[in-house]
Chains A and B, each alone.
Chain A
Amino acid sequence: MSFTFHAPTPRETAESSKGRRGEDMDIDEEFAQIQAKASMKDMAVHVVTPGEVITSDTAFMRGHGTYIEQEKVLSSLAGVVERVNKLISVKPLHTRYTGEIGDVVVGRITEVAQKRWKVDVSARSDAILMLSSVNLPGGVQRRKQESDELQMRNFFMEGDLVVAEVQAFFSDGAYSLHTRSLKYGKLRNGSFISVSPGLVQRCKSHFHSLACGVDVILGLNGYIWVSAHVPQSLDEIDTEQVYSNKNKEDITPVDREAIARVANCIRALAQETMFINDTIISFAYEASLQHKLKDMTKREVMQSIAQEATLAVENMKG
């Protein structure tokens, strides 16, 4: 057993990171930086707290995250002020998930209600999964019966994790989800990570099978599921098994290590506020192989993994 104690480190400011990058730049970059400096005054980060006056100039218009009181523009959030011409808005430091129709999300069932489940998707209110928007065991075309309504807990119970798609919005802004495809449904054989919703990029696919034998589901709401690889061909899936709570029997220690490694890579990327997609996760995984698994919770190791992964992505783009 060993313990690691650290003194805190100062936060990296926008300027200090600029200075570091400036060590080996060519003329083009230098020119770009001169240009950037010219507009530095606009770019200076202005952090505000709720109720703080952003400007008392009446010429400005009020955007998201602001309100007007006594002809002054005030912030309604804790965040960074953004200005586009005359429009002032505040971008919050911590965001909740704001979804769009068709988004793949991972959520946790919080409540079983009349003909519906409530699902935590890290949005402003719980999303709703209607009994009529799920596939029931025993054939897709089966009619819903009263008995189904009585045994809803046999399908999804409080605490269960599901992957679903945003189907529609309700009038109060809550999301309506559906799991009417065999790729959606209950999650098993793995572990759950939550990152900031802004970090997951919208991609063509959010279901990935990595080369290391690990499946990753990147929910657009920042909830991520990392699990052991389950071979998936749509014909083979047993519809009775969709709602099972049993993990598969043969998850080996090697699988577990790979899952933990991928999960830690995602945590490392999230900690360094980097976009998360399957490419960068694969690169981060490769970068992590030189470290021991149990060292991956250490801050330095996480930073180096995230940095190496970004470099690899930049190299790939050329």
Chain B
Amino acid sequence: MPSLISPAERDFILKGIECNIRADGRQRPDFREVILETGVVSQTSGSARVRIAGGTDILVSVKAEIGPVQVDPETGDGADKGQIICSVECAPSASQQFEGRGADDLNNELTQMMTRILSNTSATSSSASSAAGINLSKLCIIPGQQCWILYVDALVLDYGGNLMDAIFMGTRAAIFDTRIPKTEVQDLGDGQFEFEVLDDAEDTDIVDGREDMPICITLNKIGARHIVDASPLEELCTEAKLVVAVNRSGELCGLQKGQDGGIEPSLLLEMIQFGKTIGQSLIKQLDAMIKAEADSDLGKRQRGEPIHKLGFFAQ
């Protein structure tokens, strides 16, 4: 990850974007290729590895654990809800800058963004029991006591620009891959409950409402134009960054502006609109890819063939 750029390079990139020829030959709305595999970490409830051709490499894991419900002391909310806890960590091997405490700010920024979009109940949903489309009530085991907590951990293994979009693609794929064990609750009377986790690998729950999870599109404003899927050098030229979170029905689920440049109101509306359209079509194709892999795994499982994941032996 270069942290510096020369004025001549900046000028070259800016004028290139102006005439719609980016440094790697793409046009302004072009994404790079995405390489995706789910189920790469067997110790997790669900996982995915997303790579963007040109560098970015992200591993996302979802771990379902049982924990106490978190009740808001003021409103009494949350007694019948599970939780989603997000965290992003940039590995020092991804870039020299991430060594020591160098990645702290970026980790914070990415974690906050994920938390805001995925675990904030008030931000996105029409019904209060869901966060980012995911039905949290279904994650509750014993109301007021125990629930499932989904820990979503993203690890940035390599940096090649556009981390945010890749993290959200990986999260969506990992959540789709997630299987939560079924539980059986017994009523012992006097408000006492006991539950048992069934360890049948065949009979598990999926994360309810996963299709409605939003995805992020990062738009980088460079000069008077904006581009998607910026490369590291393009990110250094970015005056203002707009992250648009959108779900499959095209609803705006979150918006975050980064960096110190300004965006004119008319351009802002155009960028949001553009992010929404591109996000919807991204979700459609991402889901098709995830489904194809899940179907092929299912077919193999039914035929009794071993499912072979490439993981880190892949190219």
A interface residue numbers (CB < 8 A to B)? 1-12, 108-110, 157-161, 186-192, 245-247, 251, 253, 256-257, 260-261, 263-264, 267, 293-294, 296-299
Is A11 a contact partner of B314 (Cβ separation < 8 A)? yes
Between-chain CB contacts (< 8 Å), 26 pairs: A1-B30, A3-B282, A4-B31, A5-B36, A5-B289, A6-B33, A8-B49, A8-B51, A8-B310, A11-B313, A11-B314, A157-B7, A158-B4, A160-B7, A189-B12, A191-B23, A192-B233, A245-B11, A246-B11, A251-B12, A253-B21, A260-B22, A263-B23, A263-B24, A294-B30, A297-B53
Q: Which 5 pairs, one residue from A and one from B, show the smallest C-beta to C-beta distance?
A: A8-B314, A159-B4, A260-B25, A5-B289, A245-B7
Q: Note all chain A residues with C-beta closer than 8 A to B27.
A: 294
Is B21 a contact partner of A260 (Cβ separation < 8 A)? yes
Q: Note all chain A residues with C-beta closer than 8 A to B8.
A: 160-161, 186-189, 245-247
User: Please, how many angstroms separate the alpha-carbon atoms of A3 and B34 in the complex?
Assistant: 8
Most buried by A among B9, B19, B51, B314: B9
Is A264 a contact partner of B35 (Cβ separation < 8 A)? no
**B289 vs chain A, min Cβ distance (A):** 4
Say whether B240 faces chain A, with CB atoms less than 8 Å apart: no
B interface residue numbers (CB < 8 A to A)? 2, 4-9, 11-13, 15-16, 19, 21-27, 29-37, 49, 51, 53-54, 233, 278, 281-282, 285-286, 288-289, 293, 310, 313-315
Residue of B nearest to A188 (CB): B8
Q: Note all chain A residues with C-beta closer than 8 A to B36.
A: 5-8
Q: Note all chain A residues with C-beta closer than 8 A to B22.
A: 260
Q: Choose from A7, A186, A261 the contact partner of B25 (Cβ within 8 Å).
A: A261
Q: Provided the pairs A11-B313, A294-B25 are in contact, do residues A159 and B6 lie with their beta carbons within 8 angstroms?
A: yes
Q: Note all chain B residues with C-beta closer than 8 A to A261.
A: 25
**B286 vs chain A, min Cβ distance (A):** 7
Q: Choose from A108, A256, A257 the contact partner of B2 (Cβ within 8 Å).
A: A108
Is B15 a contact partner of A251 (Cβ separation < 8 A)? yes
Q: Provided the pairs A3-B34, A6-B33, A297-B32 are in contact, do residues A260 and B23 lie with their beta carbons within 8 angstroms?
A: yes
Q: Note all chain A residues with C-beta closer than 8 A to B285.
A: 3, 5
Q: Note all chain B residues with C-beta closer than 8 A to A110.
A: 4
User: Please, how many angstroms separate the alpha-carbon atoms of A317 and B14 in the complex?
Assistant: 42
Residue of B nearest to A251 (CB): B15
**B93 vs chain A, min Cβ distance (A):** 10
Is A257 a contact partner of B4 (Cβ separation < 8 A)? no
Residue of B nearest to A159 (CB): B4
Is B25 a contact partner of A299 (Cβ separation < 8 A)? no
Residue of B nearest to A262 (CB): B25
User: Please, how many angstroms separate the alpha-carbon atoms of A242 and B52 in the complex?
Assistant: 38
**12 further A-B pairs in the complex, CB-CB below 8 A; given A157-B6, A157-B7, A187-B8:** A1-B278, A5-B34, A5-B35, A5-B285, A8-B51, A9-B310, A159-B7, A160-B7, A160-B8, A260-B16, A297-B54, A299-B33
